[in-house]
Amino acid sequence: MAQNFDPAAATAAYLAQLPPEAHARASAYTHGGHWLLLWGTLVALLVAFLIVRSGALTALRRKIEGRRSRPILASFLVGVVYLVVDSLLSLPWAAYSQWWRQKQYGLTSQAFPGWLGEGAISLAITAVIGGLFFTALYALIRKAPRTWWLWGGGLTAVFIAAAMLLAPLYIEPIFNKYTPAPAGPVRDEVVAMARQVGVPSDKIFIYDGSKQSNAYTANVSGLFGSARVAMSDTMFKKGADIAEVRGVVGHEMGHYARHHSLWIAGVMSLLAVLAFFLVDRLFAPAARLLGGEEIRGVADPAGLPVLSAVMTVLFLLATPVTSSLIRIAESDADHYSLSHFNEPDGLSKALVKTIEYRAATPGRLEEIIFYDHPAVGRRIQRAMEWKAAHPKPTVALDLDARASFSDHLVVFPRMPVGMDGIALRADGSWFERHDFGWSKGRYAIADGKLCLTEERGSRRCYAIGRAASGWTLAQDAGAPVAVTLEPIAQAATPG
């Protein structure tokens, strides 16, 4: 590494990869997004007001209960009807904020009917799961009218855990197609990374995320056995190279290995306890404010719009807490990626592509309140500081070795009879002749190592060294042996 590597200058150079107009557009999108939080809350309050004023839910509850008290059925049906009506009334706002605006900024290519259809499916899922949640919540309120808010936090934890566990199995496949990463250099690399940190290597998927969003992104979902890393196909459409994949997948593996989703779910459940406590105290005045004279207190399922109006306001007020919580996990995942896979440039290249939906250089306060990921400017800065502190001694060696080895036959001294060396092609494939046929696969040169992955999946690596007159290779703990390189013809192909 050059002595005069300057992290600040390197960060500025990354940010300058986007023209000023693109940064301005990203700022407009991001600032608009902050305001959407406020407008979205106001829309939710208006919708709650309309539903309460209509008296529809109290009428429904009365009809279900008739002469007999049927609290379970009433809370489930009122819950389902409320969720459906609320979604329908909020539809124009949702269509504007989640589809039309995304389209305006070029962040989605999805046509409106596709968006609407997926919205209908998720409403159906939400209505059933939400109906069950409200049934359980109202049962708690009836059984423990003084302490229900405490149990409510536990209930929330159970539902979050169940949703996390089941989402990759039953919900995500409804919206997107998940396929194991296809054979090739990307999968070889990701599998090797997974082995390095002890993450199951069969948990890496690619999904057709470009269907809904043009955002360059990857994620971790699931819990315990269902957990997995998924890369959106937009990553490949926007041309991710191996260093980028290593940087990004290293970040996602960080979420996985350090159980961020469990931590976040735990804290969210604690916040839910606090929120339910406040709902318990604020319900009566809020119901009066929204004009719900017929609502019989917090235990009445017809009061759901009041309950959710209070929750909506509390969530808005909690934005700095929830975004900071997630931001800390994100920062930790970046650190995991850097410290395990050391791809500061790969990570930075990928981060630049996320600026279009997250402006790069917000003020500190804006970042704390609204950003659920550290600002890209700061993330790149940290990556560049990491790079300055952890130079890769092998970068130059790797480049040299790649140039020398490619399209050459690597010949070891004392080759077994019938073998004439390992042929390394410039396209990343290799083959080796035996008495009884051919071995072949893909190879990679990185971190001072030449690694050959066979088609059947086995992998061997050689440490690369320089000798006076060429190159040495050392397998595992073996001593380095001097190898000779002979040019191969592109046509030389295993039969």
Site size toward Zn ion (CB under 5 A) is 2
Least Å distance, CB 196 to Zn ion, is 19
> Does residue 334 interact with Zn ion by CB under 5 A?
no
Q: Examine the residue annotation and report whether 6 is marked as an active-site residue of this protein.
A: no
- Min CB(333)–Zn ion separation in Å: 5
341 contacts: CB under 8 Å, gap ≥ 6: 193, 196, 246, 247, 250
Q: With H, G, I as helix, E, B as strand and everything else as coil, classify residue 223.
A: coil
Alpha helices by DSSP H, 55-70: 56-65
Long-range CB contacts for residues 108-112, cutoff 8 Å, separation at least 24: 108/212, 108/213, 108/214, 109/210, 109/214, 110/211, 110/212, 110/213
Other residues' Cβ atoms within 10 Å of the Cβ of residue 34: 14
- Which range binds Zn ion by CB under 5 A, 102-110, 327-335, 410-418, 450-458? 327-335
Q: Which stretch binds Zn ion (CB under 5 A): 145-153, 293-301, 330-338, 385-393?
A: 330-338
Helix (H, G, I), strand (E, B) or coil at 103: helix
DSSP-derived pairing of the beta strands 429-434 and 422-424: antiparallel
Three-class SS state of 331: helix
Q: Residue 30 or 221: which CB sits closer to Zn ion?
A: 221
CB of 194 to Zn ion, least distance (A): 17
Burial 399-412 (b: 16+ CB within 10 A, else e): eebbebbbbbbbeb
Q: Which is nearer to Zn ion, 82 or 357 (CB)?
A: 357
Given the rule CB under 5 A, which of 3-11, 223-231, 326-334, 407-415 is the region that contacts Zn ion?
Answer: 326-334
Distances (CA, A) of 194 to 114, 187, 246, 321, 330: 35, 10, 10, 32, 19
Among candidate residues 172, 188, 280, 334, the one labeled active-site is 334
Is 233 labeled as catalytic in the residue annotation? Answer: no
> 252, 280, 300, 343: which one is catalytic?
252
330 is in an annotated binding site: yes
Cβ of residue 267: shortest distance to Zn ion, in angstroms?
Answer: 16
The torsion angle over the Cα atoms of residues 181, 183, 186 and 191, rounded to 10 degrees, is 70
Stretch that binds Zn ion, among 135-143, 329-337, 347-355, 398-406 (CB under 5 A): 329-337
Closest to Zn ion by CB, 300 vs 330, is: 330
259 is in an annotated binding site: no
**Smallest distance from the beta carbon of 258 to Zn ion, in angstroms?**
11
Length of the chain (residues): 495
- The 3-state DSSP composition of the chain as helix, strand, coil percent (nearest 5) reads 60, 15, 25
Minimum Å distance from CB 195 to Zn ion?
A: 22
- Residue 286: which of 298, 277, 300, 274 has the closest Cα? 298
330 binds Zn ion (CB under 5 A): yes
**Token code pair at residue 25:** 């557009």
Residue stretches of the annotated binding site for Zn(2+): 251, 255, 330
Residues classed as catalytic: 252, 334
What residue ranges bind Zn ion (CB under 5 A)?
A: 330, 333
